């Protein structure tokens, strides 16, 4: 039975199927990763960095090929697919550049004589369980820092991403890291077996709350370190502006990035009373002016959702919100896996939509009286990944940023991620940090060495 299947969401056509790995082949993959770790951990840092740098170069050399794969696998618009490959290359190169910083000793000031340092040592084989929405970017931010510090990787990608998964493995192999990075077409049951395997020292999962909870339970049962990056329902708070059109465009850009299928996309738009009516009018016009198109066209801004199932799920959420009393200001329709940009208003705290994550081009707009109410609405969610604050008042920006329950706050800017900025959340959005220097501390032994 095929577990991994490429279905073009734009056409519904099944393009390729791949069988899940056999138990025997999986055992061989774990043994090879464990054996590779025994030598990789002792490979000089400069050499590990050089090989990771070569992986970044190969991303760039194969840019067009890699982008084309995820256009057909998940319907990502071509321009966005090219941008994702570029970002994955930048992240990978970042860790090559920072190899000494993330592996060097950290001295500790002590009271007695002698010295003390924290020495970062690798743990061993790690399992990564990755999602479909950013097939290259997600892998880069997990694999690159951990390979540089000396760990080895087993990577279980999403079942709808088998070709991009194989393409990444080819890159690491050709960069001289065979066994250091291994793709496995594993089933969920086989992933559970990997988590329990004594040779696997930790697991990182990016995905839904349900997936994160299941993995965390297995990891806890087996006393394994786990890193989680889960969902989000990020607030976009607009308190004041001297450029409403610019703020509206930022809101649309933050909502429609990756056709709305981004964990840290702005999803809830919390607008001060004096700006609300004008914002809703302009936001609705700008959202509806963006129509889904052919993902192979470089001018397409949003394509289909990742699958027909995803579009049907989003349709059910929107229909339920309207049935419970929300106002459909625009959109709410789909054509196959294509979903029209949608705006909901009048959502109240007794509706399911108030606490759900809409994983697609749906924006929910809330009216608030003042800063205090804006913060209350922003925090009244089980999620805590990212957030956005727009205000002309510098002191207000600092106050609001300090009080938002989220792992990231962006003030007067959207889509400003970069390799050196840590990514992660709190509450049901996760437990860890990826990217930046913090990412390299997730799966290392921070060993104290005290010398008299």
Number of domains into which the chain is organized: 2
Tokens 């073009």, residue located: 8
290 in a domain, yes or no? yes
Residue 411 has pLDDT above 60, yes or no: yes
Of the CA atoms within 13 Å of residue 69, those in its CB half-sphere come to: 23
C-alpha–C-alpha distance, residues 128 and 349, integer Å: 36
Q: From the candidates 93, 169, 263, 434, which is the catalytic residue?
A: 263
Examine residue 136 and state whether it is found in any structural domain, yes or no. Answer: yes
Tokens of 5: 């299947």
What is the model's pLDDT at position 3? 83
Does 198 lie in the same domain as 59?
A: yes
Asked whether residue 424 is domain-assigned, the answer is no
Residues 275 and 345 in one domain: yes
Residue range of the domain that includes 93? 2-230+430-451
pLDDT at 180: 98
Same domain, 407 and 435: no
pLDDT recorded at residue 439: 96
Could you tell me if residue 425 is inside a domain? no
Give the pLDDT score at 375.
Answer: 98
Residues 413 and 439 in one domain: no
Same domain, 170 and 244: no
- Do 16 and 91 lie in one domain? The reply is yes
pLDDT of residue 2: 56
Distances (CA, A) of 385 to 92, 408, 411, 423: 23, 6, 15, 8
DSSP letter assigned to residue 223: T
Per-residue pLDDT reduced to its tens digit, 177-226: 999 999 999 999 999 999 999 999 999 999 988 899 999 999 999 999 99
Instruction: Decide if 259 contacts 77 (C-beta within 8 A).
Output: yes
The answer to the question of residue 246 being in a domain is yes
Distance, in Å, from the CA atom of 182 to the CA atom of 363, rounded to the nearest integer, reads 38
Same structural domain for residues 309 and 205? no
Shared domain check, 221 and 335:
no
What is the number of residues in the chain? 452
CA 294 to chain centre: 24
Please indicate, yes or no, whether residues 77 and 167 belong to a single structural domain of this protein.
yes
Q: Has 169 been annotated as catalytic? A: no
Dmax of the chain from CA atoms? Answer: 72
Query: For a pLDDT cut of 90, what percent of the chain falls above it?
Result: 98
User: Could you tell me what percent of the chain has a pLDDT over 70?
Assistant: 100
Tens of pLDDT along 56-90?
A: 999 999 999 999 999 999 999 999 999 999 999 99
In a domain, 105, yes or no: yes
Instruction: Name the H helices within 294-422.
Output: 308-323, 371-379, 394-403
Give the model's pLDDT for residue 1: 40
Quick check: is 350 in a domain? yes
What are the backbone dihedrals phi and psi of residue 436, each rounded to the nearest 5 degrees, phi first?
A: 65, -175
CB 237 within 8 A of CB 389: yes
Based on the fold, state whether residues 282 and 329 are members of the same structural domain. Answer: yes
pLDDT in tens, 339-394: 999 999 999 999 999 999 999 999 999 999 999 999 999 999 999 999 999 999 99
Active site residue 161: no
Q: Note the pLDDT tens digit of each residue in 2-27.
A: 589 999 999 999 999 999 999 999 99
Q: What is the pTM of this model?
A: 0.95
Active-site hit among 73, 84, 93, 229: 229
Q: Does any domain span residue 191?
A: yes
- 129 and 29, same structural domain? yes
Residues 303, 434 within the same domain: no
What is the rounded average pLDDT of the residues 141-145?
98
CATH number for the domain that contains residue 48:
3.40.605.10
**pLDDT tens digits along 113-127:** 999 999 999 999 999
CATH number at residue 348: 3.40.309.10
């Amino acid at each position: 039975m095929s577990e991994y299947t490429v279905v073009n969401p734009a056409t519904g056509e099944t393009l390729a199927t791949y069988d899940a790995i056999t138990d025997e082949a999986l055992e061989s993959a774990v043994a090879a990763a464990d054996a590779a770790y025994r030598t990789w951990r002792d490979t000089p840092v400069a050499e590990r960095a050089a090989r990771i740098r070569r992986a970044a170069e190969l991303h760039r050399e194969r840019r067009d090929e890699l982008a084309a794969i995820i256009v057909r696998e998940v319907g990502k618009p071509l321009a966005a697919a090219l941008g994702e490959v570029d970002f994955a290359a930048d992240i990978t190169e970042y860790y090559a550049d920072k190899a000494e910083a993330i592996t060097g000793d950290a001295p500790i000031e002590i009271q007695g004589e002698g010295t003390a340092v924290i020495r970062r040592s690798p743990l061993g084989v790690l399992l990564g369980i990755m999602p479909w929405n950013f097939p290259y970017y997600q892998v880069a931010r997990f694999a690159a820092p951990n390979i540089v510090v000396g760990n080895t990787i087993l990577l279980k990608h999403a079942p709808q991403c088998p070709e991009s998964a194989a393409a990444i493995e080819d890159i690491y192999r050709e960069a001289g890291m065979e066994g250091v990075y291994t793709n496995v077409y594993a089933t969920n049951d086989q992933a559970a077996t990997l988590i329990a395997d004594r040779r696997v020292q930790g697991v990182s999962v990016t995905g839904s709350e349900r997936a994160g909870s299941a993995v965390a339970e297995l990891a806890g049962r087996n006393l394994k370190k786990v890193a989680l990056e889960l969902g989000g329902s990020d607030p976009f708070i607009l308190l004041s502006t001297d450029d409403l059109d610019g703020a509206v465009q930022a809101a649309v850009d933050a909502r429609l990035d990756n056709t709305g299928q981004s964990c840290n996309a702005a999803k809830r738009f919390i607008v001060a009373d004096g700006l609300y009516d004008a914002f809703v009018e302009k936001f609705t016009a700008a959202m509806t002016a963006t129509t889904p198109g052919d993902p192979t066209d470089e001018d397409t801004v949003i394509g289909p959702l990742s699958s027909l199932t995803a579009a049907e799920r989003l349709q059910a959420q929107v229909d339920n919100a309207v049935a419970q009393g929300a106002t459909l200001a625009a959109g709410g329709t789909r054509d196959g896996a294509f979903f029209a940009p949608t705006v909901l208003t009048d959502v109240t705290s007794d509706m399911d939509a108030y606490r759900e994550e809409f994983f697609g081009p749906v924006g929910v707009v809330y009216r608030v009286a003042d800063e205090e109410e804006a913060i209350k609405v922003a925090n009244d969610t089980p999620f805590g990944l990212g957030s956005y604050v727009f205000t002309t008042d510098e002191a207000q920006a600092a106050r609001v940023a300090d009080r938002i329950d989220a792992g990231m706050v962006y003030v007067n800017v959207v889509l400003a991620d970069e390799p050196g900025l840590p990514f992660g959340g709190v509450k049901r959005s996760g437990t860890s940090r990826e990217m930046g220097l913090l990412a390299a501390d997730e799966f290392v032994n921070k060993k104290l060495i005290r010398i008299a």
